[in-house]
A and B are shown apart, each in its own frame.
Chain A
């Protein structure tokens, strides 16, 4: 993996998810769009939790 991809792959994916989540609830009419938005915007929080759990285990 190139250094750029190694460093920025996850941050860019999370940024993409975040932007999707922010827009989904704004443009979508409730229902499934809200749920998608909650899932997408939880991804940074889930990532933090997973990384902290992983480094505690290591």
Chain B
């Protein structure tokens, strides 16, 4: 199931672009500066006065700004609604209704099946455990490989014999050649399922410690917040060379009630996967601190591209899909071999194989 839903997810972005019916961006010269972020936030507030602004996301790939809103900042993410803006004109391009109430897209369904079976944390942990079992099965396959290939030449598929032997040979060939890729994608997949608990641990330990000096103070009201654009510009100035990806408003599940949490990333192949958060005092707009991410969140960030295969252009995605297909065949043939197994001890089957040579 994970391999099958993972296959279209390799092409998640392409399928999304192909299926979406979003209005196009305005045709403007490449150097057109970005519109003011506070104006976009104001537009979002006017359209949805009952919602709280959750974050402002600034894409570095397309001229796109997304403002995320929640009914309240501790509400379920499935209730979040989004406004998509053209980053240069500041015009609204699209209203995205909450996932809980809009019809799910093809990508939504595949992603939820692959990540959490529509049940958020419990489903995620369950699939993480399934991923661990998948790794155990792969390792048991490595252990069984040597006795089962016996004295055969590497990669031989004996087609003349019984279908069982043919499928055994195919299982061995496909399994052993794709082994390293399967282990890497399996391990990084399990790590990805731990994202939510890992971020919670970080919030409860490091972030809590950082904002302790503010405990007892009254969090800023909405009208006391410093401008978002100012926070964005300040971080850009403080960390030249980093790209600012989003500004999270104070009071959410992640971050602090007194701070803007601004996410930045590097600009090189690897560093663009490593995010550094900056805390800014939400009243004054001054930088409180550039936060060092703990090792477990760094590991999570590095494991994302290695699981998604989205870091080496379209050829890498195609290779990813083909390796996934090979893995599906390994699982299918393994299931066939197990279902059609003869009720004899493994030593007897090995002796039979050896006699057949």
User: Which residues of A line the B interface, CB within 8 A?
Assistant: 6-11, 14-16, 18-19, 22, 25-30, 34, 37-38, 41-42, 44-45, 47-48, 50-52, 54-56
Contacts and interface: CB of A to CB of B under 8 A. Distances in A.
B326 A45 contact: yes
Contacts of B322: 45
Contacts, number: 96
B254 interface: no
**Chain B interface size, under 10 / 10 to 19 / 20 to 34 / 35 or more:** 35 or more
Contact of B319 (A10, A29, A41): A41
A47 B177 contact: yes
A55 B157 contact: yes
Contact of B173 (A25, A30, A48): A48
A44 B178 contact: yes
Q: For chain A, what secondary structure do more than half of its interface residues adopt (helix, strand, loop), or is it mixed?
A: helix
A55 to B, nearest CB: 4
A39 B214 CA distance: 54
Contacts of B305: 26
Interface of B: 145-146, 149, 154-159, 169, 173-174, 176-181, 184, 268-270, 273, 302, 305-306, 311-313, 315-316, 319, 322-323, 326
Given A14-B177, A22-B181, A45 B323 contact: yes
Contacts of B312: 25, 34, 37-38
A28 B271 CA distance: 11
